[in-house]
Amino acid sequence: MRDLVWKIVLWLLVSAAMLLPIAWVEGHGFLSSATIQMWAKAIVLTDGPAVFRATDAFFPPLPFAIALVMQVVSGGTDIPLPHVLSAAVGGLLAVAWYYNLINRAAYDRVSAVLVVLLLVLNPVFLRSLSEGPSMMFLILGAWLFFRGLVNIRLFGTAPDMMKVALGLLVATMSHELGVLFALATLPALVLAARPSLLLVSPSGYLVSMFFPVVAAVLSLFFVSAVLKTDFFAVQLLSPDSAWAGATFLAIFCLLPVPLMVIFRLFLQPRFSMPLGGMLLTLVGMALLNRVYPVEPDPVLVAAPALGAIPVAARWWTRTSLRSTPLAALMVLSAMLGGWALGTLGAPESRAWLQAASGQMVTNPVAQAAHVAAFLRDREEVLADVERHPDLVAALGNASNFIAAGDPAYDRVLFGGRPAGKFVVIGVDENDPVVRDRLLRALPRLKNNNDSRFDLVYDTGSWMVYRVNRAGDT
């Protein structure tokens, strides 16, 4: 009991420390779109109109459900609660890696602390922290899967098979990329399996691994069909060969330690084959993301490779200088990760790198702060809250909005008479598609050419209109 209490205290302390790099980049203006989206959804569902009906997909459910509970319990704060959850998962990973290296790999405490410290200071890990809890849960699921994958070949016990199944379930329920990760594990599971398992019952072996994932995904598809929503909230992008090449290069930047361990244990198939299965999973996930692109940032696609590093470190050859070459390779991986962020990363990753280096960047919530201040004391505001999470996050609540599900809102979308007192729309001249559903229903608002509305606020990207009853037709 005392040991458990100490572990919980250590987790809380490490989680608090994880908030420091998040607070640093947030203080310099960085806030990821994934964090904004999750934060806004939690605000709308807990503080928004009672009649609100979400039309966007609810996937991924695991981090969102926890963020929703945190929003209810806290009552709402100025701190993005997804960041707190992300730090908590990051602290859990760090503590789990530390005890795994001590108890399972026989590292001394100083060496274990050094390995974990170098891992969490990797720029890709820090970038994943700021991305939000979905990415951190994906790394957690990847680590559980990789750990179980190696243990299945070495020991073949039921708990190891449960680790694989649990890792796949966590990854799948945490991020859209996790679905592709789970699909990519199939050849790796065959490669890493003990020959005796495949001889006795190959179908039973694979079914036991994938049953939790298949059951959960089918349940989500059923709920999605009942609610008439898309399964994924993201839109599939056009495959790009250059983007795919950058993804493979980003993954390679995080693999010096696993590659060296595979090289040193190559002649021992019971080690090299499951470790090779880890690499095969990462490559397969990247290939699937090229065909069905759900994550446009090559660096974030590579982030699950972080879960392979402590697994490989566990099987590093035990010598008197065990931690020195391992630490050198991890420093190399951190340097390559920083290079990948600046060279291969998407615009958000490059913005994170600028914020991490102390430069100020601008995030959508800051850009929406002025219009949020204007709307703070207004009532009955028609708004497309699902297309403008930045506005909801900047406002901190959604109680004064008329949103999807309200008959007045739906009536406007179908060409009916405007309701409420105000209408707020977002205009993005660089977007070829009009995302704001109110602007699509009322296209003349873009040019202030509708007599039913009086323009009362205009920044170019945000326009607020007062409903003019005298102009009704």
Judging by beta carbons within 10 Å of its beta carbon (0-12, 13-18, 19+), is residue 320 exposed, middle or buried?
exposed
- Closest to 410 (Cα-Cα) out of 364, 447, 377, 441: 441
pLDDT confidence tier of residue 231, bands split at 50, 70 and 90 = low
Q: How many CA atoms lie within 13 Å of 472's alpha carbon, on the beta-carbon side?
A: 8
Residue 176 pLDDT exceeds 80: yes
Segment 462-467 mean pLDDT: 94
Phi first, then psi: give them for residue 59, nearest 5 degrees. -80, 140
- The dihedral through the CA atoms of 68, 91, 175, 331 has a sign that is positive
Residue 388 pLDDT exceeds 80: yes
What pLDDT score does 29 carry? 95
Q: Write a three-state SS string for 35-59.
A: HHHHHHHHHHHHHCCCCCCCCCCCC
Span 322-362, pLDDT tens digits: 889 999 999 999 999 999 999 999 999 999 999 999 999 99
Span 20-42, pLDDT tens digits: 999 999 999 999 999 999 999 99
Q: Which residue has the higher pLDDT, 200 or 395?
A: 395
**H-helix or E-strand containing 457?**
strand 453-458
Residue 427 pLDDT exceeds 60: yes
Span 234-285, pLDDT tens digits: 555 666 666 678 999 999 999 999 999 999 998 898 889 999 999 999 999 9
**Strand bridging mode 422-426 / 462-467:** antiparallel
User: Which amino acid is located at 184 in the chain?
Assistant: A
Structure tokens at 342: 């600046």
In 429-454, which positions are buried (b, 16+ CB within 10 angstroms) versus exposed (e)? eeeeebebbbbebbeebeeeebebbe
Cα-Cα end-to-end distance for the chain: 72
Least confident of 19-28, 86-95, 267-276, 429-438: 429-438
pLDDT confidence tier of residue 309, bands split at 50, 70 and 90 = very high
What pLDDT score does 236 carry? 57
Alpha-carbon radius of gyration of the chain: 24
Residue 473 pLDDT exceeds 60: no
Span 111-133, pLDDT tens digits: 999 999 999 999 999 999 999 99
